[in-house]
């Protein structure tokens, strides 16, 4: 397999008759999926999603793909193809269209409806083209064919991209549920037909590539959900993704059987399910769905709440319930059902919410103690099946951490794809397809773009490092007044510290050290304020590291008087 290396340089200009593939997100991570295709001077973008921040991203709301590769080339984009409506595939669209509002969006009916609702909040009215499985569209140098795939959200599509330089099949997120709730299966006949035609490069979902066997059908969990409903004493609170239409459908059906009413909690949940119901993807039994305001008028044993927050997001409804910061007060006898899997990196946040809910007396049912969730991604058996059907000439695993992509690559090799034709790449690595052979040819800058409040791209790693230090290590301020005429200390040093368990008197120990360091510096001819600040920073930092085993942020202030 080919591995990216830090020494990769910028690629050479794309050769005539070649197809270039650059992932600006989604390789080596779960989220911010975005792939750019280039041929004949024109670009096609597949997906444009977000990554959700982890604990080491304090203050960050969202993480976007790095659009810098597209700087100066927005007019070259034929369209953005959206494979399905999950946030990690559509969440960054408003930020891309903020740069150029008339970039066309192509996707299925539900996908575009979810994107349009999101763009409305940004006051952007997009140009859209609704497509469905079996449809072909010619966009400049790109000939697109859309294929039905099954996923945890309806209306997901794979896309076959034909160009003069070769063909590429991108699965999007998919699995091979043979008994899906909506009856819409992954079209393996189309995969086989495209394989017979010839697929030069196969981009495949890697998320469950290291999971043996086949992903269980969605129908398998209906009995587990029904069991939870039968045994619940008071209210039932179900937490899942705000776009998981299939799971909400199962909850509505279970509530109808149990004679309960369902209320949706969370703005995104209400918005998305309203769209799904209006378009016919969500079938609401008569009289089951009620407004949240009516919940207080019903007995607890007749209530079901469907909430956001299954990943432990601190501002989502479920986390606020666990922290007693929500109008829904969780208590003994309530049942909380977490009907989702854990996104890698979210485990601690989810378990904090579970612990908080159980502390309040709730019975918490989750994937760890009941079969209440199945994945939306193909496991190793399904991927192997697809490789044998498609028989691609080259493979580029996508959508997953490194371990997932590696496992996916090994499956490709096991089915007969030559090892040198299986490319393991990360974000920013450039792959060129020419004469039927795919090769890594370089890399382009591709960092994290942080959404921090109203700031987009203004936050960088240096700022996040400062925030982490402030959060984890505290800070020490040292103020010294220097006599401008003599260069001697006129007042101070005065120490102020925050974020320490030690008694403040311990910081008196560093004052003589600072005084001695400043005297030595000024006697050595150092009078510049900035240089004296560095002397103070080194002195206080050395003392803090040795004495209290901490590395706080040190803010030296030198005032000339």
Question: Using one digit for the tens of pLDDT, what is the confidence trace for 42-71?
Answer: 999 999 998 766 565 555 667 889 898 999
Enter the tokens of residue 345: 């990196």
Convert the pLDDT of each residue in 34-47 to its tens digit.
999 999 999 999 99
For the ranges 253-267, 309-323, 352-366, 537-551, the lowest mean pLDDT is seen at 309-323
Report yes or no: 350 and 342 within 8 Å, Cβ to Cβ.
Answer: yes
Do 469 and 552 meet the contact criterion of CB atoms below 8 Å apart? yes
Give one DSSP letter per residue of 103-162, joined into a string. --EEE-HHHHHHHHHHHHHTT----EEE--TT-EEEETTEEEEEEE-B-SSTT-EEEEEE
Which residues are 51's β-sheet partners? Answer: 63
Average pLDDT score over residue span 519-528: 74
Query: pLDDT tier at 408 (50, 70, 90 boundaries)?
Result: very high
pLDDT at residue 343 is higher than 90: no
> In this predicted structure, what is the pLDDT of residue 370?
65
Task: Report d(CA 506, CA 312) in Å as an integer.
Answer: 39
Pairing of strands 553-560, 475-482: parallel
CATH of domain 474-560: 3.10.20.580
Report d(CA 111, CA 281) in Å as an integer.
11
Q: What is the reported pLDDT for 502? A: 65
Q: How many helices (H) and strands (E) does the chain have?
A: 14, 26
Of the pLDDT bands very low, low, confident and very high (cuts 50, 70, 90), residue 555 is confident
Which part of the chain is CATH 3.60.15.10? 19-214+376-456
Q: What class is the 218-365 domain?
A: alpha beta
pLDDT tens per residue across span 158-187: 999 999 999 999 999 999 998 888 889 999
Question: What are the tokens at 416?
Answer: 């007969």
For 520, other C-beta atoms within 10 Å of its C-beta total 12
pLDDT surpassing 80 at residue 316: no
Strand locations in 310-351 (E): 335-338
Asked whether the predicted pLDDT for residue 137 surpasses 70, the reply is: yes
- Over 27-77, what HEC string results? ECECCCCEEEEEECCEEEEECCCCECCCCCCCCCCEEECCHHHHCCCHHHE
Q: Which is more confidently placed, 398 or 294?
A: 398
- Given a cut of 60, whether residue 75 has pLDDT beyond it is yes
- Ranges for all domains in the chain classified under CATH 3.40.50.10710: 218-365
pLDDT value of position 433? 95
Domain 19-214+376-456 -> CATH class: alpha beta
Where in the chain do CATH 3.10.20.580 domains reside? Answer: 474-560
Position 29 pLDDT exceeds 80:
yes
Q: What percent of the chain has pLDDT over 90?
A: 45
Q: Is pLDDT at 125 greater than 60 in this prediction?
A: yes
Tell me how crowded residue 533 is: count the other CB atoms within 10 A of its CB.
17
285: how many CB neighbours lie within 10 A of its CB?
12
525: CB partners within 8 A, 6+ apart: none
Global pTM value: 0.81
């Amino acid at each position: 397999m080919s591995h990216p290396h830090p020494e990769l340089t910028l690629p050479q200009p794309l050769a005539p008759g070649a197809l270039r593939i650059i992932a600006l997100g989604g390789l080596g991570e779960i989220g911010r999926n975005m792939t750019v295709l280039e041929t004949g001077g024109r670009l096609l973008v597949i997906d444009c999603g977000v990554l959700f921040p982890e604990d080491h991203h304090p203050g960050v709301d969202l993480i976007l793909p790095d659009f810098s590769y597209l700087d100066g080339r927005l007019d070259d984009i034929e369209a953005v193809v959206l494979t399905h409506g999950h946030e990690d595939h559509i969440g960054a669209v408003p930020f891309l269209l903020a740069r150029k509002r008339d970039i066309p969006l192509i996707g299925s009916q539900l996908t575009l409806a979810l994107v349009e609702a999101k763009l409305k909040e940004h006051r952007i009215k997009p140009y859209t083209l609704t497509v469905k499985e079996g449809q072909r569209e010619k966009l400049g140098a790109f000939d697109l064919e859309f294929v039905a795939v099954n996923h945890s959200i309806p209306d997901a599509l794979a896309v076959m991209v034909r160009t003069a330089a070769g063909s590429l099949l991108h699965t999007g997120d998919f699995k091979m549920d043979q008994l899906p709730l909506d009856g819409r299966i992954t079209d393996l006949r189309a995969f086989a037909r495209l394989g017979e035609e010839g697929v030069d490069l196969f981009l495949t979902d890697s998320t469950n590539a290291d999971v043996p066997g086949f992903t269980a059908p969605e129908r398998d969990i209906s009995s587990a959900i029904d069991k939870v409903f039968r045994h619940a004493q008071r209210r039932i609170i179900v937490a899942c993704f705000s776009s998981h239409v299939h799971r909400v459908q199962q909850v509505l059906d279970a509530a109808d059987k149990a004679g309960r009413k369902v209320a949706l909690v969370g703005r995104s949940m209400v918005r998305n399910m309203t769209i799904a119901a209006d378009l016919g993807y969500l079938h609401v039994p008569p009289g089951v769905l009620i407004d949240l305001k009516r919940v207080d008028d019903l007995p607890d044993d007749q209530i079901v709440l469907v909430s956001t927050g299954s990943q432990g997001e601190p501002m989502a409804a479920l986390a606020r319930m666990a922290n007693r910061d929500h109008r829904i007060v969780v208590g003994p006898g309530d049942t909380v059902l977490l009907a989702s899997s854990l996104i890698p990196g979210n485990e601690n946040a989810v378990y904090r919410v579970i612990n908080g809910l159980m502390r309040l007396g709730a019975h918490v049912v989750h994937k760890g103690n009941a079969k209440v969730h199945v994945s939306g991604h193909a496991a190793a058996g399904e991927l192997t099946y697809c490789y044998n059907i498609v028989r691609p000439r080259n493979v580029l695993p996508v959508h997953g951490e490194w371990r997932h992509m590696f496992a996916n690559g090994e499956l490709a090799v096991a089915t007969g794809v030559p090892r040198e034709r299986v490319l393991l790449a990360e974000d920013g690595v450039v792959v060129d397809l020419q004469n039927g052979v795919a090769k890594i040819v370089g890399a382009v800058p591709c960092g994290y773009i942080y959404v921090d409040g109203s700031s987009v791209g203004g936050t960088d790693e240096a700022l996040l490092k400062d925030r982490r230090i402030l959060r984890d290590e505290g800070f020490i301020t040292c103020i010294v007044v220097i006599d401008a005429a003599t260069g001697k200390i006129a007042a101070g040093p005065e120490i102020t510290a925050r974020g320490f368990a030690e008694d403040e008197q311990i910081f008196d120990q560093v004052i003589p050290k600072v005084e001695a360091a400043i005297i030595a510096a000024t006697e050595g001819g150092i009078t510049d304020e900035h240089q004296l600040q560095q002397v103070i920073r080194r002195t206080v930092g050395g003392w803090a590291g040795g004495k209290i085993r901490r590395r706080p942020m040190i803010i030296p202030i030198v005032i000339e008087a």
